[in-house]
Chain A
Amino acid sequence: MILALMKGMCDMDNKIDKKLEDIKNNDNVYSVGKVIKVNPYTVIVSGLADITYYEEVNIADKAKGFVFAVGKNTVTVSLVEVGSKINPGDLVYSLKKQFKCLFSMDSMGKVIDIFGNDLIAGKKFDNLVEVPIENEPIPIMDRGLVTREFLTGITGIDMLYPIGRGQRQLIIGDKKTGKTQIALDAIVNQKDKNMVCIYVALGKTKKEVKDIYLELAKRGASSYTIVIASFNDELPNRTYLTPYVALSIAESMMLDSYDVLVVIDDLKKHADVYRQISLASRKTPGRDAYPSDIFYAHSKMLEKGCQHKDGGSITILPIVETKSSDITDYISTNIISICDGQLVLSSKNFARGEKPALNYGLSVSRLGGNVQSSDMKRVGSLVRNKLLDYLEVRDIYELANFDEMSPELQMRMKNGKIILEKLKQYKFAPKSKEEMLKLYEFLEVGDNDASR
């Protein structure tokens, strides 16, 4: 399976040892520099006159990083691993290779980081391959059309706001509205559907990640799911890089004709970490103090979501946490404008017990019926239309006397209520398409006025 995907195994440690040996023997002295300034996440280095951009460097065996900016006399190195304290004057060795991360073919069912560590077992995998942190954008002509369905098992999604393989569908809402739960439901529903799932946890607590890991294991999703985690007590550069590396891994699988699902939980934290790094490196901030290329940071990441012309696909479910149900803040609108649709969760619905707490008015799927089977498309658009109509009418006629309404209006109100009721679904209770269709059979039966 996945094991066959990655080629060119190598033993990194040996390579580094050999390089250090070379340097000690003065075989390539020219690529040694000296630390002249130590910042929280970066160091400034003098020397390294023939360095390449994004080259990996080793700082006196204490830390590891990559070249983030090449200046006239100095080089800025972003740190990704720090063993012990770095001092000015420490020697910096360039490794004559582009900075890459590590991935093991044995990661399935494990919680890993982007440096080849099995975080639950607390040790490094022993068969690691290198993964680039980012590849070139996928050419527009290499993309196919997104038409194959990706089923979450949730009626309100599969029927009303469907997702296709290769689609980027944002899940957005306040804290405690069930965002992660929808992603987990979607992962669990991929059992026996030939889908590799990658759950990327950014800035979550360790307890949360362990819960998610155990939950997935309990539901039998381990055999096809990898959890990639980065925590807030790590260097911010690692959290920043993690989703890019996860998508590089997904990209190599896609090019090998696999269908991959990547959940990124969540991108607001990613934006905040990028802001932290960017302000620390004294870049001029833009709106809300985010760096001016924050849109690009997310667009190049999410553009990896793709149905490839050769068959494989990457479906991405990014998650964004909002405050006070405001989905119009800077980061949220940026990401909405990148994605192919959004599932908006409402804390009011959640409190009312309407779960999943989808706000059906604000949710959108830009692919709509293109990714649905014909019966799901037919019934889905009928249900969506009636539901939205009902939700609007409901508020207006809240205080009106039901008996005095026209028969047409009474029917709309009655049907609407039933439609809404049938969308309620408890967590980890997936429905098949047939079950969903059956729920709404009543709408297509002739005796109902409102459907005409």
Chain B
Amino acid sequence: MMQVGKIITISDISVEIILSDNSLKIGDILEVEGNSKYLFEVVEINNISAVCLSLYSTRGLQKGSTVIKKSDELEIEYSDKILGRVFNSYGDVIDGLPFESEKKVKVSNSTVSLKEVKASNEPLWTGIKVIDFFAPLQKGFKMGLLGGAGVGKTVLIKELIHNIYASSKSNAVFVGAGERSREGKELYEDMKSSDLLDKMTMVFGQMGDNPVSRSKSVTTGLRMAEYLRDEKGQDVLIFIDNIYRFIQAKAEIATELKELLIENGYPSNMASEISSIEERINSNDKGSITSFQAIYIPADDLSDDAVQTVMSYMDGQIVLDRKVAELGLYPAIDVFKSTSRLVDAEKIGERHFNLVERVLAMLTRYEELEEIIAVLGIEELSEDDKLVFYRSRKLRNYFSQPMFVAESFTNIKGEFVDIKDILDDVENILNGKYDNVDESKFRYIGKYHE
């Protein structure tokens, strides 16, 4: 193999190489001669040296080591062989089972052009009341699931996998980016035991891995979804948990490479980094990609730059709120901030649209009333306000739901609720049909049974 140079600087995730050969290109994969556990990707190059990111730990690497070129770029499997298998961020199979490659391609790809991109599609119901009511979606949508730490993003992602993927014929890709390994393993075991693994591909670059691995898991998973869309013409589902970790990892890399950072330590090219991912997650003539992307909110700060930049690509957003979680109402969704492009009388129909408007108006009044009650007590309210108060509480309870994947928390079997039932129930609560029913009867139910 071709010797390209010698290592002269080493840090946690990067090395610099003095070049003895000028044929290197950005993206080339290098390895230390005689020790394949040290692998690098070229990210900067000039006529005497190259800066590389290390794919694995650099500990124990010796200054002056000779480096050879391994391949032109990271490559991943591009065939049906990916289904039912688990990969790391660099496209290696990690589930411990034998693997024979059929066809490999480079991991990078172009974004979908304006000419190719396909905009509208048929609706896609999730069976989760609060999503279908406030933020309904359609095939090819990008749904952002936003939430601070520990308010239920991952449970919701798992419920969506359960409700949508399990009942569809589509293939799916799950990307674990910078999240918990324990959850990754649990999902794998779940899929295996419910016989769903064979149409799914999993890619993991979890939070114990270095930032290079965490950021690359997204592109690797995406390339596999593109295979399913372009070569098999499918309506593909991709679940990314968590897209924020991609930017976080890029920020770590940018600091390490001594780039100038913007506020809160984010890389200055954040917008283009996110765009290069999001503009690939699109539908074209061959098939569609529907994506669910969990978005972590650092320090519960919804105005965070990275969060806002990712959000601008989403067709819909589901915002999880710590205050709702505190009440024990799951999924803990902030109904005022959760919405989608479909919430429009022309798209979901006048009845649904009007109900959403009425519910939001009522809940807004409820929030005001709560403040009044905190001072004066409930008895001081006018009769009209009392009705608003009691009906709102029923609505709020109604939008909690037993979830299939949360059975171990609630001890209640999950339920898939039809949109027709949701609209009927909400209408009935609003119109006062259930004024004599205790509010606790609406907590953790599917559709309402009298």
Enumerate chain A interface residues (CB-CB to B < 8 A). 48-54, 69-72, 98, 134, 136-141, 143-146, 166, 283-287, 291-293, 295-296, 299-300, 303-307, 328-330, 333-334, 336-342, 361-362, 364, 366-370, 377-378, 381-382, 384-385, 388-389, 392, 395-401, 404, 406, 408-409, 412, 450
* B378 in contact with A397 (CB, 8 Å): yes
With A and B bound together, what is the CA distance between A338 and B322 in angstroms?
A: 17
- Contacting residue for A72 out of B9, B57, B184, B265, CB 8 A: B9
* B378 in contact with A284 (CB, 8 Å): no
* A412 in contact with B440 (CB, 8 Å): yes
Q: Does B239 have its Cβ within 8 Å of any Cβ on chain A?
A: no
Choose, from B61-69, B74-82, B128-136, B334-342, the stretch at the interface: B61-69
With A and B bound together, what is the CA distance between A392 and B393 in angstroms?
A: 11
* A49 in contact with B408 (CB, 8 Å): no
With A and B bound together, what is the CA distance between A333 and B94 in angstroms?
A: 30
* A299 in contact with B61 (CB, 8 Å): no
* A296 in contact with B211 (CB, 8 Å): yes
The answer to whether A303 and B181 touch (CB under 8 A), given A145-B186, A378-B411, is: yes
Enumerate chain B interface residues (CB-CB to A < 8 A). 8-12, 16, 57-64, 86, 94-96, 148-150, 154-155, 178, 180-182, 184-186, 188-189, 204, 206-211, 248, 251-252, 254-256, 258, 260-261, 264-266, 296, 298-300, 322, 325-328, 370, 373-374, 376-379, 406-411, 438, 440, 443-444
* A400 in contact with B378 (CB, 8 Å): yes
* A381 in contact with B206 (CB, 8 Å): no
Residues in chain A near residue B298, CB distance under 8 A: 287, 330, 333-334
Given contacts A53-B62, A300-B208, A366-B150, 19 further A-B contacts (CB under 8 A): A49-B64, A51-B63, A54-B59, A284-B258, A292-B255, A293-B12, A303-B181, A306-B182, A307-B182, A334-B298, A336-B150, A337-B149, A341-B150, A369-B408, A369-B409, A388-B327, A396-B370, A396-B373, A408-B440
Residues in chain A near residue B148, CB distance under 8 A: 328, 333, 336
Interface centre among B86, B95, B206, B296 (most CB of A within 10 A): B206
- B379 shortest CB reach to chain A, Å: 6
Show 20 A/B contacts (Cβ-Cβ < 8 Å), sorted by A: A51-B63, A53-B60, A71-B9, A72-B9, A137-B181, A140-B86, A140-B185, A140-B188, A141-B94, A166-B182, A292-B251, A295-B248, A303-B181, A328-B300, A338-B207, A362-B325, A369-B409, A369-B411, A385-B410, A404-B379
* B63 in contact with A50 (CB, 8 Å): yes
- B392 shortest CB reach to chain A, Å: 12
* B261 in contact with A292 (CB, 8 Å): yes
* A52 in contact with B61 (CB, 8 Å): yes
With A and B bound together, what is the CA distance between A401 and B374 in angstroms?
A: 14
With A and B bound together, what is the CA distance between A336 and B410 in angstroms?
A: 21
- B28 shortest CB reach to chain A, Å: 22
* B327 in contact with A72 (CB, 8 Å): no
The answer to whether A136 and B185 touch (CB under 8 A), given A284-B255, A377-B411, A389-B328, is: no
* A138 in contact with B181 (CB, 8 Å): yes
* A293 in contact with B255 (CB, 8 Å): yes
With A and B bound together, what is the CA distance between A136 and B55 in angstroms?
A: 13
By Cβ-Cβ distance, the 10 closest A-B pairs, closest first, are A286-B265, A399-B377, A388-B328, A303-B208, A137-B208, A336-B149, A337-B149, A299-B207, A361-B326, A368-B409
* B61 in contact with A143 (CB, 8 Å): no
The answer to whether A53 and B59 touch (CB under 8 A), given A385-B328, A392-B327, is: yes
- B439 shortest CB reach to chain A, Å: 9
- B175 shortest CB reach to chain A, Å: 13
* B62 in contact with A381 (CB, 8 Å): no
- A38 shortest CB reach to chain B, Å: 21
The answer to whether A328 and B411 touch (CB under 8 A), given A140-B181, A286-B261, A293-B252, is: no
Residues in chain B near residue A166, CB distance under 8 A: 182
Q: Tell me the nearest residue of chain A to B211, going by C-beta.
A: A296
With A and B bound together, what is the CA distance between A401 and B379 in angstroms?
A: 9
Residues in chain A near residue B64, CB distance under 8 A: 49-50
With A and B bound together, what is the CA distance between A305 and B378 in angstroms?
A: 48
* B63 in contact with A70 (CB, 8 Å): yes
With A and B bound together, what is the CA distance between A304 and B438 in angstroms?
A: 47
- A402 shortest CB reach to chain B, Å: 12
Q: Tell me the nearest residue of chain B to A329, going by C-beta.
A: B299
Interface centre among B211, B261, B296, B328 (most CB of A within 10 A): B328
Residues in chain A near residue B182, CB distance under 8 A: 143, 146, 166, 305-307, 340
With A and B bound together, what is the CA distance between A48 and B379 in angstroms?
A: 80
With A and B bound together, what is the CA distance between A137 and B10 in angstroms?
A: 20
Q: Tell me the nearest residue of chain A to B64, going by C-beta.
A: A50
Q: Tell me the nearest residue of chain A to B62, going by C-beta.
A: A52
Q: Tell me the nearest residue of chain B to A409, going by C-beta.
A: B438
With A and B bound together, what is the CA distance between A292 and B210 in angstroms?
A: 13
Residues in chain B near residue A389, CB distance under 8 A: 328, 440, 443
* B296 in contact with A337 (CB, 8 Å): yes
* B207 in contact with A141 (CB, 8 Å): no
* A303 in contact with B59 (CB, 8 Å): no
* A384 in contact with B328 (CB, 8 Å): yes
* A140 in contact with B189 (CB, 8 Å): no
Q: Tell me the nearest residue of chain A to B370, going by C-beta.
A: A396
Interface centre among A144, A299, A367, A409 (most CB of B within 10 A): A299
- B396 shortest CB reach to chain A, Å: 10
Interface centre among B96, B181, B210, B378 (most CB of A within 10 A): B181
* B206 in contact with A303 (CB, 8 Å): yes
With A and B bound together, what is the CA distance between A406 and B390 in angstroms?
A: 13
The answer to whether A287 and B299 touch (CB under 8 A), given A49-B63, A141-B185, is: yes
* B204 in contact with A140 (CB, 8 Å): yes
* A141 in contact with B95 (CB, 8 Å): yes
The answer to whether A330 and B9 touch (CB under 8 A), given A137-B206, A145-B189, A395-B374, is: no
Residues in chain B near residue A141, CB distance under 8 A: 86, 94-96, 185
Q: Tell me the nearest residue of chain A to B190, going by C-beta.
A: A145
* A361 in contact with B327 (CB, 8 Å): yes
* B378 in contact with A399 (CB, 8 Å): yes
Residues in chain B near residue A404, CB distance under 8 A: 379
- Contacting residue for B206 out of A140, A307, A337, A377, CB 8 A: A140
* B60 in contact with A368 (CB, 8 Å): no
Residues in chain B near residue A450, CB distance under 8 A: 440
Residues in chain B near residue A98, CB distance under 8 A: 59-60
Q: Tell me the nearest residue of chain A to B254, going by C-beta.
A: A292
Residues in chain B near residue A381, CB distance under 8 A: 409-411
- A431 shortest CB reach to chain B, Å: 21
* A330 in contact with B63 (CB, 8 Å): no
Residues in chain B near residue A384, CB distance under 8 A: 328
With A and B bound together, what is the CA distance between A378 and B252 in angstroms?
A: 44
- B302 shortest CB reach to chain A, Å: 11
- A146 shortest CB reach to chain B, Å: 6
Residues in chain A near residue B266, CB distance under 8 A: 286
With A and B bound together, what is the CA distance between A140 and B377 in angstroms?
A: 53
Residues in chain B near residue A328, CB distance under 8 A: 148, 299-300, 322
Q: Tell me the nearest residue of chain B to A134, going by C-beta.
A: B59
With A and B bound together, what is the CA distance between A51 and B60 in angstroms?
A: 9
- Contacting residue for B322 out of A70, A284, A303, A362, CB 8 A: A362
Residues in chain A near residue B149, CB distance under 8 A: 333-334, 336-337
Interface centre among A138, A336, A337, A412 (most CB of B within 10 A): A337
The answer to whether A340 and B60 touch (CB under 8 A), given A296-B252, A368-B408, A385-B328, is: no
The answer to whether A143 and B185 touch (CB under 8 A), given A52-B63, A293-B252, is: yes
* A300 in contact with B60 (CB, 8 Å): no
With A and B bound together, what is the CA distance between A329 and B266 in angstroms?
A: 18
